[in-house]
């Protein structure tokens, strides 16, 4: 069956043949009038474009419609197949290029993984410049970094690591096992005063060959792998620096590492403080180099100035956004506010050695009952946090949702204080007491309003509360102060700078400390609650000593049985609930801010603030179109 198109072409052929072929009844004649013989065969060629423009003259209306429909079908089909090809075979991909600048509060001091452990700024920079044997990915899973693989012995005491080859330091020297051994032994040497000293206590390291090292533990230690994220130092640069000069070395501010970024430059003010710090991509990185060419940090004294810089487009991100700035920052549609889950808790730690009143469990319980944690969540955190009652936050091994809670109960607090022998006196009577040399005889009954102090003998129940100068902490501290004053406690609140709080913690020079603790995803409480950690560089901020707690925490470290560890951690928390060495307040949300030009940020959970850079190699600004098959 012939199609309309074929019929049309045949008709055109026939017509053209009639018009160009001589009639059978006529002989062809030359120019001079002579007759020529008929050609044996008339040739035919397809119509030229000039001829085709007359084709419509030979088509019927029905044939014209059929051709239009056919052409429409062809065009639609072409659009479909081109679109399908574009959709399935062309994609937007990241490409190298672009710069990122972040605002940070404070100043770096030790960009050194052995020393820079207690400062978030130091850890931010070391995480980009240095690499560890292991690292956390964006899902917060431990994965190999400087190692290709590792093995663990059956008795859980020997860990053997096989190092990657052809890894270069930023100065193009080759990385090997000597660097690993030097770093660990430096941490273990008390003369270097590394905060990680306790973590590696009882651990020996041996070089098997240039690319193999083995760790030997005295006892099984379940969280051991998690501490091997510490950055490795280059032995060829640090081995000649003695312990006395270690903290003063040039490489603490101009480091050489193996990480995805390397030091480029820094600027200082007239006082010698670092005001900006610039990194450039490590193109010789042993993994795929990062897309973003340069990362810069600008350091500000407070969040007001940092938020203003972000608002004025002087920076592309803010390391941490306090709750009171969220409403303002949300107005800028070019900024992404990213809430990150962080295994952290804030608490008031009681140092019983600095205040004899705090040695009384009844008084510590009374101070706990006097606090309205819901008010803290509402007014200090803008609901960006979760109330907690123990030292292990939700989502971590050993978290106990059924733990005993000290609910907000003013009357219970007053009753405990009264039972402890305290009576109320007015402010005027308190002033007289201060001015009298002889013992006061004023012993009025316990009052029901907040305008009074508590007296026992000639002593007034007084507590010094200290915290760091961050908005969230300050607001929380003010609520605590008011709450304790409501039950008659005289509270002296002191707000100090981040630098001052470090020295305060180091010397344990406080009575009550409001502070945040980051536990990590493996929440080993040993560094924070074992009695061996009561003094610096330990982190037992409550200076708490309890033999049973010590034994439980030691045993929990020795088992890899998760259920056994969980049971021990629950037992440990029950002891803390009974003894009240601290008031556990809340687990906050860590809020990070990035300009929308930064793509590829996928992290939702972090173990510490520096983990926001755990997927830095996937961040990008520039894009390109590319074929995919």
> For the chain, first and last CA: distance in Å?
41
What confidence category does residue 430 fall into, taking pLDDT thresholds of 50, 70 and 90? confident
Q: How far, in Å, CA of 187 to CA of 114, rounded? A: 6
**37-88 pLDDT, tens per residue?**
545 555 556 667 776 667 777 778 887 788 888 888 889 888 887 777 766 7
Q: How far, in Å, CA of 233 to CA of 196, rounded? A: 14
**61-75 pLDDT, tens per residue?**
887 788 888 888 889
Is-cis flag, bond preceding 537, omega within 30? yes
- Length of the chain measured in residues: 629
Q: What is the reported pLDDT for 428?
A: 79
Closest CA to 98 of 292, 286, 289: 292
Measured CA distances, 91 to 85, 617, 623 (Å): 11, 19, 10
pTM of the model: 0.70
Burial class (CB in 10 A: 0-12, 13-18, 19+), 619: buried
**245-257 pLDDT, tens per residue?**
999 999 999 999 9
List, in order, residues 6 or more apart from 115 with CB less than 8 Å away: 122, 192, 193, 194, 195, 246, 247, 252
Q: What is the reported pLDDT for 448?
A: 39
Query: Mean pLDDT for the chain?
Result: 88
Q: What is the reported pLDDT for 116?
A: 92
Residue 166 sits at the vertex; the CA angle it makes with 160 and 170, to the nearest 5 degrees, is 105
What confidence category does residue 605 fall into, taking pLDDT thresholds of 50, 70 and 90? confident
Q: What is the DSSP code string of 3-45?
A: -HHHHHHHHHHHHHHHHHSPPTTS--B-TTS-B-PPPS-----
CATH superfamily for 344-422+462-589 is Dipeptide-binding Protein; Domain 3 (3.10.105.10)
List, in order, residues 6 or more apart from 298 with CB less than 8 Å away: 101, 102, 103, 104, 275, 276, 309, 314, 315
Q: How far, in Å, CA of 533 to CA of 544, rounded? A: 9
List, in order, residues 6 or more apart from 427 with CB less than 8 Å away: 451, 452, 453
Burial class (CB in 10 A: 0-12, 13-18, 19+), 190: exposed
> Tokens representing 317?
């991100």
Instruction: Give domain limits for the chain.
Output: 99-316+597-627, 344-422+462-589, 423-460
List, in order, residues 6 or more apart from 554 with CB less than 8 Å away: 526, 530
- Topology of domain 99-316+597-627, per CATH? D-Maltodextrin-Binding Protein; domain 2 (3.40.190)
């Amino acid at each position: 069956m012939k199609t309309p198109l074929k019929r049309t072409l045949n008709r055109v052929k026939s017509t053209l043949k009639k018009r160009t072929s001589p009639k059978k009844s006529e002989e062809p004649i030359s120019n001079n009038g002579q007759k020529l013989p008929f050609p044996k065969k008339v040739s035919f060629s397809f119509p030229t474009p000039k001829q085709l423009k007359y084709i419509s003259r030979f088509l019927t209306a029905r044939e014209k419609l059929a051709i239009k429909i056919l052409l429409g079908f062809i065009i639609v089909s072409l659009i479909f197949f081109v679109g399908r090809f574009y959709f399935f075979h062309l994609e937007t991909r990241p490409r190298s290029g672009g710069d990122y600048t972040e605002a940070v509060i404070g100043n770096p001091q030790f960009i050194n993984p052995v020393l820079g452990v207690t400062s978030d700024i130091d850890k931010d920079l070391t995480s980009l410049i240095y690499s560890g044997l292991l690292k956390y990915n964006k899902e917060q899973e431990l994965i190999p970094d400087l190692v290709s693989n590792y093995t663990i012995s059956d008795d859980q005491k020997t860990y053997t690591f096989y190092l990657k080859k052809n890894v270069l330091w930023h100065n193009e020297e080759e990385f090997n096992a000597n660097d690993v051994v030097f770093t660990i032994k430096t941490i273990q040497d008390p003369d270097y005063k590394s905060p990680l000293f306790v973590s590696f206590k009882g651990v020996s390291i041996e070089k098997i060959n240039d690319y193999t090292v083995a760790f030997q533990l005295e006892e099984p230690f379940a969280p051991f792998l998690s501490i091997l994220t510490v950055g490795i130092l280059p032995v060829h640069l640090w081995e000649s620096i003695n312990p006395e000069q270690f903290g003063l070395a040039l490489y603490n501010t101009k480091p050489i590492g193996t990480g995805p970024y390397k030091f480029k430059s820094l600027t200082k003010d007239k006082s010698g403080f670092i005001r900006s710090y610039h990194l450039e991509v490590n193109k010789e990185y042993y993994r795929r180099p990062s897309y973003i060419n340069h990362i810069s940090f600008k350091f500000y004294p407070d969040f007001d100035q940092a938020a203003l810089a972000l608002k004025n487009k002087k920076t592309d991100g803010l390391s941490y956004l306090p709750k009171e700035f969220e409403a303002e920052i949300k107005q800028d549609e070019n900024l992404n506010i990213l809430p990150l889950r962080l295994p952290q808790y804030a608490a008031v730690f009681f140092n019983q050695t600095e205040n004899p009143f705090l040695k009384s469990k009844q008084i510590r319980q009374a101070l706990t009952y006097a606090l309205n944690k819901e008010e803290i969540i509402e007014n200090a955190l803008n609901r960006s946090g979760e109330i907690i009652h123990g030292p292990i936050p939700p989502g971590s091994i050993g978290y106990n949702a059924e733990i005993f809670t000290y609910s907000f109960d003013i009357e219970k607090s007053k009753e405990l204080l009264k039972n402890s022998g305290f009576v109320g006196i007015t402010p005027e009577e308190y002033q007289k007491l201060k001015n009298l040399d002889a013992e006061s005889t004023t012993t009025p009954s316990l009052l029901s309003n907040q305008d009074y102090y508590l007296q026992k003998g000639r002593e007034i129940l007084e507590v010094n509360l200290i915290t760091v100068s961050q908005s969230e902490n300050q607001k929380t501290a003010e609520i605590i102060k008011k709450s304790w004053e409501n039950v008659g406690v005289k509270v002296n609140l002191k707000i100090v700078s981040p630098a001052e709080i470090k020295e305060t913690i180091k010397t344990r020079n406080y009575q009550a400390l409001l502070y945040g603790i980051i536990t990590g995803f493996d929440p080993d409480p040993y560094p924070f609650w074992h009695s061996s950690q009561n003094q610096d560089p330990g982190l037992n901020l409550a200076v708490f000593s309890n033999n049973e707690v010590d034994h439980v925490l030691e045993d929990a470290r020795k088992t890899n049985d998760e259920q056994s560890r969980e049971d021990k951690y629950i037992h440990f928390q029950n002891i803390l609930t009974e003894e009240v060495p601290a008031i556990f307040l809340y687990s906050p949300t860590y809020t990070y801010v990035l300009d929308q030009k930064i793509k590829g940020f996928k992290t939702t959970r972090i173990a510490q603030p520096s983990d926001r850079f755990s997927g830095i190699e996937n961040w990008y600004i520039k894009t390109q179109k590319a074929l995919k098959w």
